[in-house]
Amino acid sequence: MGTFAEDIKKFNGIYKLPVSAVPTLDVGVPAAQRMAAFKDILMEEVHEMDEIIAAQDAGKDPLEVLTMLADLLGDIQVYCASEMAKFGLPLDQVLAIIMQSNFSKLGADGLPIYDERGKVMKGPDYWKPEPKIQAMLAAVHAQSKIAD
């Protein structure tokens, strides 16, 4: 068994979905069309949460509810990772930058800040991940040109 990123590339290959070794918007169809289709797919998945909420509210067995939840969340991760492979976005590197940005959200007292829903909020030392992601993508792109 390979890493998750390797398994995603294998999955995309088996199902004849694009896999790019470098960041690209060339995914076989107009990028905006691909993004719109992906949004539709994600929304279908998100709406499955209603079934899980209903199962929990109906008093279904906790293991059954957890199984449904694990399947949903896993499917969303697979869809997202597959999409990243199509666009040549390096999964592990992007996620590492995002997680480091998330760690910067702590409050001045070093404690997490939450809103009323439990969402983690941004503290005073928060930094946006986009500049580091952009620099990383530029470096990956430049490195691929050197390898050519």
List residues bridging with 120 in a β-sheet.
114
61, two tokens: 């067995």
| The CATH homologous superfamily of the domain defined by 1-89 | putative ntp pyrophosphohydrolase like domain (1.10.3420.10)
pLDDT score of 143: 84
Query: Would you say the pTM of this structure is higher than 0.85?
Result: yes
pLDDT per residue as tens digits for the range 28-58: 999 999 999 999 999 999 999 999 999 999 9
Percent of the residues in the chain that have a pLDDT greater than 90, as a whole number:
91
